[in-house]
Chain A
Amino acid sequence: MTVLVESFQKRFGPEMAGPFFAFIAVMIFFGVASPQFLSQATFGSVAFQLPELGLLTLAMLLPILTGGLNLAITFTANIAGLTVAWVLQANGGVDAGPLAFALGCVLALAAGAASGVVMGFVIAYTRAHPILVSLSMMIFLRGLGEFLTRGGDVSGFPDFLRPLGHGSLLGIPVPLIIFIVCVLVWHLLLTRMKLGFNTYMIGSNIEAARYSGVNTRKVVVLVYTLSGAMCAVAGIIMLARFNSVRVGHGESYLLITVLACFLGGVNPFGGFGRVIPVFVALVVLQLLSSGLNLMGANQHLATAVWGLLLVGVMFLRWVASHYKFLNNRKG
């Protein structure tokens, strides 16, 4: 057994254990409890629901790795969605062409990145706590969105956007493809690029990173900019999924994204954590939600179970460390 655990950890890393066993537990539990669970319909619905939460979680992941937090993610996504909506409306609404949509996407990414740049600069140069800076940015962006839309929603988009939210390519939902591409980009960024390495260094010890010649301010600004840009991608997908933009769409996802990161073994103080375990944790959360739905419970119960799952994983982690501690003392 220990050999098995060790080889598992060597291959997938220590963060993988929690999400992986949760995945197996969920599959077995719902597979036994509900005969329809192991069907294509379940996985289809998971595949369509995963990207919205998943893209926002990716946006949350980078700041957490630096030891920060980005509480502005959902409203950055809303603002980016609004940008696309306005560009489309200014170019004929339902009759707008693909070129207008492309322009909208570029501007949306710019808007998302801009909110990230502002946060990054304030955090990097004044050393204010990231929770506060992103919190005030969140209040600002929510207000901005409510001010510009008067609290209503914007809808009426061209038909060619539908496949982006509901279509499939070779049997795989388009939003899922976009999400997986983003996961891979994040994975490569964190494992293969200098910026990723510096992100981990800053998360572990920002002073040590600075003394070893890392331009910590530049890295922090870049991390929040990328986080803002990823929010924009999420905003565009949400626009296509709901076929409307409304400030407050996905607001309930905010704390779930933090939960998903922690469930995926990311260290709350930064420095440790990988993309793939977070991805598995997200799949577990969505499978739980779909499974409970099949058994007749609603989304709110799923939210409660998500919270319980996180407490459970943290409890098991405590038990494991305790057990290891005792072992070390004996040996």
Chain B
Amino acid sequence: MRNFISTHATESSLLAVMIVICAFLSFATDNFFSLGNTFDLLNTSAVNIIFAVGLLVVLIAGGIDISFAVGASVVQYVTAIALGWIGGGSWLSGILIAGSIGILLGAINAFLIHRFRIISIVATISTFNIYFGLLMFFTKGVSIYDLPDWLTDKVVLFEHEMPDGTWIEITLPVLVMVICVVATWILITRTTIGRQLYAFGDNPEGARRFGINIGAMQFIAFGWLGLMAGIGGLVQAHYAQEVVPNAFYGRELDVLAAVVLGGARLGGGKGSVLGCVLGVLLISITQNGLNLMGVSPFAFKMIIGAIILVAITLSNTRIDKLVPVLRGEGQTR
């Protein structure tokens, strides 16, 4: 346990903050501490977590991506049209189409960054504008509501009737989220590619001299984010039962804030799947709790922004300086 705290400082402090907030909300509101609310939370944050683990891989590899959320909108739209052409399709074809378009969009970013040595933030701001501009130009901002039935039908994986007669349920987005989280965890902690991504993010030149194929690293990182963005886009279309061209506009910065709150470093080489998921959940829980406490929805963003600002300020003042006991543990290890 102490070992975990000293090696996972950000994750454990996030966890501690979350426990405090959850304990407070359980007493302050009637229905926060209920299975139904927990499942609601999972269902609503599924898409953000899928995006977040994708973005995490890019951050670990030392890049940054602004274009993924708009890319997900492009994927949604193109997939909806492609499914119309092939006359319906199924989950398999949907995921194949969405995933491959997502990977393609990610590969475009990786190509610009690697081949022409464009800094990733410059490249992805350009592609952000290109994707969004073209999407709005060709769709004229029109949404698609006419989606195949298999995509819009709610898939309930687990349901249970509570004593008071309400139904609680876990739906498909949660399963997809779990698969994406586990897959990303395996990729970055249990494979050689994962170690190489960390090494590359930490020190690109050192990684290159060590014989790591840096081009492949860029394509894997951005391709993975593209894949996650594609899947996330499809899941969002399933969840919202519609495709709106500017639905994700602005989401990239919210996800970025959550991921970095979870301990990933802009600059690469650091970050974990656990921290990333905790970062997204902390923001969702806060929002959910404020909602249950009857705070005006207009104030949510303000409070969340303030929390992130304070968290960043505190987390950069090293935690072991604040808690001397942990410093001793860290040194003897």
Q: Which residues of A contact B (CB under 8 A)?
A: 71, 118, 122, 126-129, 131-133, 135-144, 146-147, 150-151, 251, 255-256, 258-259, 262, 268-269, 297-298, 300-308, 310-311, 314-315, 318
**Are B306 and A147 within 8 A (Cβ)?**
no
| B322 within 8 Å of A (CB atoms) | no
CB closest chain-B residue, reference A69: B121
**Are B304 and A308 within 8 A (Cβ)?**
no
**Are A251 and B250 within 8 A (Cβ)?**
yes
| B244 within 8 Å of A (CB atoms) | no
B215 to chain A, nearest CB (A): 15
B159 to chain A, nearest CB (A): 35
Stretch binding the partner chain, chosen from B20-28, B31-39, B132-140, B146-154: B132-140
Chain B positions 298 through 323: 1 when the CB is less than 8 Å from some CB of chain A, otherwise 0: 11111111101100110111000000
**Interface pairs (18), CB distance under 8 Å:** A128-B313, A133-B312, A135-B256, A139-B257, A141-B305, A143-B301, A144-B302, A144-B305, A151-B298, A255-B129, A298-B137, A300-B132, A300-B137, A301-B133, A303-B132, A304-B131, A304-B134, A314-B126
Task: Give every chain B residue within 8 A of A141 (Cβ-Cβ).
Answer: 305
**Most central of A140, A141, A297, A318 by chain B CB within 10 Å:** A140
**Are A314 and B122 within 8 A (Cβ)?**
yes
A25 to chain B, nearest CB (A): 17
A115 to chain B, nearest CB (A): 11
Give the contact-size bracket for chain B: 35 or more
Task: Give every chain A residue within 8 A of B316 (Cβ-Cβ).
Answer: 126-128
Known interface pairs A147-B298, A300-B137. Does A139 touch B304 (Cβ–Cβ under 8 Å)? yes
CB closest chain-A residue, reference B312: A128
**Are B266 and A262 within 8 A (Cβ)?**
no
Bound Cα distance from A111 to B313, whole angstroms = 21
B153 to chain A, nearest CB (A): 33
| B260 within 8 Å of A (CB atoms) | yes
Instruction: Please name the 7 residue pairs, one residue from A and one from B, whose CB atoms are nearest each other, closest first.
Output: A304-B133, A140-B305, A143-B301, A143-B302, A307-B129, A303-B133, A139-B305
Bound Cα distance from A259 to B124, whole angstroms = 10
Contact partner of A139 among B128, B132, B308, CB < 8 A?
Answer: B308
CB closest chain-B residue, reference A305: B133
**Are B305 and A136 within 8 A (Cβ)?**
yes
**Are A143 and B298 within 8 A (Cβ)?**
yes
Stretch binding the partner chain, chosen from B50-58, B112-120, B229-237: B112-120
Contact partner of B118 among A128, A256, A318, CB < 8 A?
Answer: A318
B270 to chain A, nearest CB (A): 12
**Are B257 and A132 within 8 A (Cβ)?**
yes
| B182 within 8 Å of A (CB atoms) | no
A210 to chain B, nearest CB (A): 18
Please name 11 further chain A to chain B contacts, defined as beta carbons within 8 Å, in addition to the given A147-B298, A147-B299, A297-B137, sorted by A numbering.
A131-B256, A132-B308, A137-B309, A151-B298, A301-B133, A307-B125, A307-B128, A307-B133, A310-B129, A311-B112, A315-B116
CB closest chain-B residue, reference A148: B298
Bound Cα distance from A298 to B136, whole angstroms = 10
Task: Give every chain B residue within 8 A of A311 (Cβ-Cβ).
Answer: 112, 118, 123, 126-127, 130
**Are B133 and A302 within 8 A (Cβ)?**
yes
A281 to chain B, nearest CB (A): 13
A70 to chain B, nearest CB (A): 13
B251 to chain A, nearest CB (A): 12
Bound Cα distance from A304 to B131, whole angstroms = 7
**Are A136 and B298 within 8 A (Cβ)?**
no
**Are A129 and B267 within 8 A (Cβ)?**
yes
| B216 within 8 Å of A (CB atoms) | no
A263 to chain B, nearest CB (A): 10
Known interface pairs A132-B257, A135-B256. Does A259 touch B305 (Cβ–Cβ under 8 Å)? no
Bound Cα distance from A300 to B306, whole angstroms = 33
Task: Give every chain A residue within 8 A of B112 (Cβ-Cβ).
Answer: 311, 314
| B273 within 8 Å of A (CB atoms) | no
Bound Cα distance from A197 to B138, whole angstroms = 46
Bound Cα distance from A241 to B304, whole angstroms = 31
**Are B116 and A140 within 8 A (Cβ)?**
no
B261 to chain A, nearest CB (A): 8
Bound Cα distance from A131 to B250, whole angstroms = 15
**Are A126 and B126 within 8 A (Cβ)?**
no
**Most central of A143, A307, A314 by chain B CB within 10 Å:** A307
Task: Give every chain A residue within 8 A of B317 (Cβ-Cβ).
Answer: 126
**Are B302 and A262 within 8 A (Cβ)?**
no
**Are A136 and B122 within 8 A (Cβ)?**
no
CB closest chain-A residue, reference B307: A136
Bound Cα distance from A61 to B45, whole angstroms = 35
| B197 within 8 Å of A (CB atoms) | no
**Are A143 and B305 within 8 A (Cβ)?**
yes
Contact partner of B302 among A135, A140, A297, A304, CB < 8 A?
Answer: A140
B274 to chain A, nearest CB (A): 19
Task: Give every chain A residue within 8 A of B119 (Cβ-Cβ).
Answer: 268-269
**Are B305 and A142 within 8 A (Cβ)?**
yes
Known interface pairs A122-B312, A131-B266, A318-B118. Does A143 touch B137 (Cβ–Cβ under 8 Å)? no
**Are A307 and B312 within 8 A (Cβ)?**
no
B231 to chain A, nearest CB (A): 25
| B66 within 8 Å of A (CB atoms) | yes
A158 to chain B, nearest CB (A): 28
Bound Cα distance from A258 to B267, whole angstroms = 19
Known interface pairs A71-B253, A126-B317, A251-B250. Does A138 touch B305 (Cβ–Cβ under 8 Å)? yes
**Are B130 and A136 within 8 A (Cβ)?**
no
CB closest chain-B residue, reference A146: B298
CB closest chain-B residue, reference A262: B122
| B329 within 8 Å of A (CB atoms) | no
Bound Cα distance from A245 to B257, whole angstroms = 27
Contact partner of A304 among B64, B117, B130, B303, CB < 8 A?
Answer: B130
A44 to chain B, nearest CB (A): 25
Task: Give every chain A residue within 8 A of B192 (Cβ-Cβ).
Answer: none
**Are B266 and A132 within 8 A (Cβ)?**
yes
Bound Cα distance from A268 to B306, whole angstroms = 27
Task: Give every chain B residue within 8 A of A268 (Cβ-Cβ).
Answer: 119, 121-122
